[in-house]
Structure 1
Amino acid sequence: MKVAIASSDGKTVAQHFGRCEGFVVVEVEGSKVLNREYRKNLFSNHQGAHDGGEGNCSPVDLLKDCDVVVSSGMGPRAYKRLKEQGKKVVITDETEVEKIIGEILTQSE
């Protein structure tokens, strides 16, 4: 399973999905992290990106291979597009990326 966590600094969860500078993407299997990367959101300054954008100008497209997307908030268009792609969308009050990863690993045990 691949999980994308919206984060502008790789440590804290971003307040808004489309406006963040990037995403911490972790691939987990059971209680192990198989891979971790940081994907830059090249669309964060584009018109419409904060709502999921259209066409190729979208952070939604950047995360096509992810199963779960975590953020502190997101616009309704981005939420709808992610759900249409079959992704689980988690809106959280948690502020630390590492705590979210820990929770995912604990749930996978």
Structure 2
Amino acid sequence: MPVKVAISSADGRTVHQHFGQTTQFVVCEIDGRSVRFLEVRPNRPPCGGADEAGERGHDEGSMGRTVALIADCRAVISAQVGVGAVVRLAERGIQAFVIPDFIESALGRLIDSGALDEPVQPKKRWLEDIRP
């Protein structure tokens, strides 16, 4: 069955954004070993900007919108992701993977790992966890 994966990437070539600072997600569909580009989804980053009270840091409303933006995806690949975001993602059935690499290579490594066949857990999976 095809699986959608969201990738944190401002340039569409590399996984180089922190989940909370992602300005856009590249969404792909994995079907077996085949990868198909679907779309780019612009995002208002939940971290680093001012929240509704004017405080810098995490904006929980924006975090919820970011998670909802990729709620149809089974996984997200980012260069880094915080614990709070990992838990919120897992609650929506999305596994967080930390794979700072070129998108094509990161997706290949994820496919080879078999990790998409495992149940979603409220923890991030590091680069070392998914080496083929």
- TM-score band (shorter)? 0.7 to 0.9
SS of the residue 1:65 aligns to: coil
Structure possessing the higher radius of gyration over alpha carbons: 2
Which letter maps to 1:75? G
Percent sequence identity over aligned pairs: 34
- The runs of 5 or more residues in structure 1 that have no matched partner are none
**1:10-67 deviation line (CA, Å, top 9, x unaligned):** 11112311212111111111111244311111x225638x757337852111000000
> Contact 2:4–2:74 (CA<8 Å) still a contact in 1?
yes
Provide the aligned length of Structure 1 versus Structure 2: 105
1:47 is matched with: 51
> Contact 2:18–2:80 (CA<8 Å) still a contact in 1?
yes
Alpha-carbon spacing, 1:56–1:106, altered in 2? closer, same or farther (3 Å): closer
Higher relative contact order (CA 8 A, sep 6+): 1
Find 1:100's aligned residue among 77, 87, 106: 106
Separation in 1 of the partners of 2:38 and 2:80? 22
2:17 is matched with: 15
Runs of 4+ in 1 over 6 A off after TM superposition: none
Separation in 2 of the partners of 1:58 and 1:46? 15
SS of the residue 2:61 aligns to: coil
SS of the residue 1:82 aligns to: helix
2:94 is matched with: 87
> Contact 1:51–1:75 (CA<8 Å) still a contact in 2?
no
Alignment of 1:49-88 (within 5 A): 51=58, 53-54=60-61, 58-88=65-95
TM-score (norm 2): 0.66
- The runs of 5 or more residues in structure 2 that have no matched partner are 115-132
TM-score (norm 1): 0.77
Which letter maps to 1:103? R
Separation in 1 of the partners of 2:36 and 2:8? 19
Which letter maps to 2:71? K
- C-alpha RMSD over aligned residues: 2.6
Which letter maps to 2:103? V
